[in-house]
């Protein structure tokens, strides 16, 4: 279950981010994507205000989900797990590395998920 997510996509839906934005509070997850959903953004600046906490993970992708956040400029920081991928999902950062997404705890993958 997603719990509280600031962006949620499931059942083969999609969310495309075309402009920068600010994250002003924490949640269980910033992005929750499941069941073949797609969340994507590239080239934006995303500002985190006041070090928000994400109690589940900043990005959670499960059950064949695809989350692609590439070439993002992150301004500010967050606490919590960076990512959690499961169920053959993909979290694509275009080589952004393990610390690319906001958070202060390492991300995890299981059951065929990939973090790229």
Q: List pLDDT tens digits, range 23-82.
A: 999 999 999 999 999 999 999 999 999 999 999 999 999 999 999 999 999 999 999 999
Distance separating alpha carbons of residues 9 and 14, to the nearest angstrom: 6
**Residue 101 falls in which region: left (phi positive, over 0), alpha (psi -120 to 50) or beta:** beta
| Tokens encoding 116 | 């790229």
Q: Hunting for tokens 């006041």 — which residue is that?
A: 50
Strand partners, 74: 46
* Tokens describing residue 90: 């993909």
CA angle 21, 93, 11 (to 5 degrees): 75
Query: With 60 as the cut, is the pLDDT of residue 2 above it?
Result: no
């Amino acid at each position: 279950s997603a719990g509280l997510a600031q962006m949620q996509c499931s059942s083969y839906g999609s969310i495309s981010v075309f402009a920068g934005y600010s994250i002003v509070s924490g949640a269980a997850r910033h992005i929750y994507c499941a069941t073949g959903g797609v969340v994507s953004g590239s080239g934006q600046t995303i500002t985190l205000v006041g070090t928000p906490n994400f109690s589940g993970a900043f990005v959670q992708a499960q059950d064949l989900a695809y989350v692609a956040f590439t070439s993002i400029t992150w301004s500010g920081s967050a606490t919590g797990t960076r990512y959690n991928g499961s169920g053959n999902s993909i979290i694509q950062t275009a080589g952004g590395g393990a610390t690319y997404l906001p958070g202060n705890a390492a991300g995890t993958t299981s059951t065929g998920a990939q973090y790229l």
